[in-house]
Amino acid sequence: MRKFSPSSKIFIVAVVTIGAAVLVKGLIDWKASKPFEFLALLSMTVIASRLRVKLPGINGTMSVNVPFLLIVAVQLSSSQALAIAALASLVQSMPSTQWRTAPVQAIFNSATITNAVAAAALAFGFASQRGLVLPLSIAAAGIAFFFANTLPIAVVLWLAEGAAPVKTWRAMARLSIPYYALSAGVAAVVCAATQFAVWGLSLALLPFMYFIYTSYRLYFADRTVAEVQPVEAKPMARAVASVSSAFGMTPSDTASGEAASERRTS
């Protein structure tokens, strides 16, 4: 098992510390507003967090909870949004029959998503205060969430494996940008509807996201790595496998992920 490098340890501790500080600050300033919306969005976000898609060529997954995280960042108080983000990200990292996540990785993921929701809330507030219409404000929140969620992963890969951070980030972005754009659009529609108390549309979001989840599974199952990322596939797979090993996943997990990538690109 590969050990953490000093720079990796420092960065991971920094991300976790910031995430913990943001969460604690939010809990201290807790505002129990909109209890029905809070419980409904908490339930839907937790359920969506368990719908994970295996990304081709990468020993990792993507959850379909982003629309819900954007909605809570916009609709709820910052304390409620951060609590949902922290809980949902931990639920997302819970082991299943297909994936196992080490405790350190789960904590890092939770901190990253908590920070991303905080960044989304700040971006939305900043855009709204400057008079941007709701869809553009939510788009700003989606952009902030995207960068806050993907950049730390690229940095970890760089520190752990020496993978080129820009190329690594571009490989992840190529796979996830369409989904983030869709998530921001869905969140904008739902938030606009709830201004007129159309909560039925919000409740219908979960089966819609299950449809998206199923579509992504079929799409990625049919795509080869060569079609998705012909140049970066092998380096990216090796880098992610290395980080997964450093986070404490079993050698068989990382080896199978890298071997599958090598088979697809051969």
pLDDT tens column, 151-164: 998 888 788 777 77
Task: Give the model confidence (pLDDT) of 224-240 as tens digits.
Answer: 444 444 444 444 444 44
CB-count burial class (<10 Å; 0-12, 13-18, 19+) for 220: middle
Q: What are phi and psi of 54, to 5 degrees?
A: -75, 125
State how far the Cα of 225 lies from the Cα of 55, in Å rounded to an integer: 9
pLDDT at 69: 93
Instruction: Give mean pLDDT, residues 256-263.
Output: 41
pLDDT at 231: 40
Instruction: Give mean pLDDT, residues 251-258.
Output: 37
pLDDT at 127: 95
Task: Report the topology of domain 6-265.
Answer: Arp2/3 complex 21 kDa subunit ARPC3 (1.10.1760)
Q: How does the average pLDDT of the chain come out, rounded? A: 74
pLDDT at 254: 37
Q: How far apart are the first and last CA of the chain?
A: 26
Say if residue 116's pLDDT is above 60. Answer: yes
pLDDT at 208: 63
Which of 31-40, 44-53, 105-114, 204-213 has the largest mean confidence? 105-114
pLDDT at 4: 66
pLDDT at 6: 83
> Helices 251-265 and 233-246 meet at what angle, rounded to 10?
180
- Percentage, residues of the chain above pLDDT 70: 65
Instruction: Give mean pLDDT, residues 52-66.
Output: 65
pLDDT at 200: 56
Task: Give the model confidence (pLDDT) of 157-194 as tens digits.
Answer: 788 777 778 888 888 888 788 888 988 988 888 888 77
135-140: long-range contacts (C-beta < 8 A, 24 or more apart)?
A: 135/188, 135/192, 137/74, 138/70, 138/74, 138/184, 138/187, 138/188, 138/191, 139/184, 139/188
Of 65, 60, 62, 107, give the one whose Cα is nearest residue 84.
65
pLDDT at 204: 60
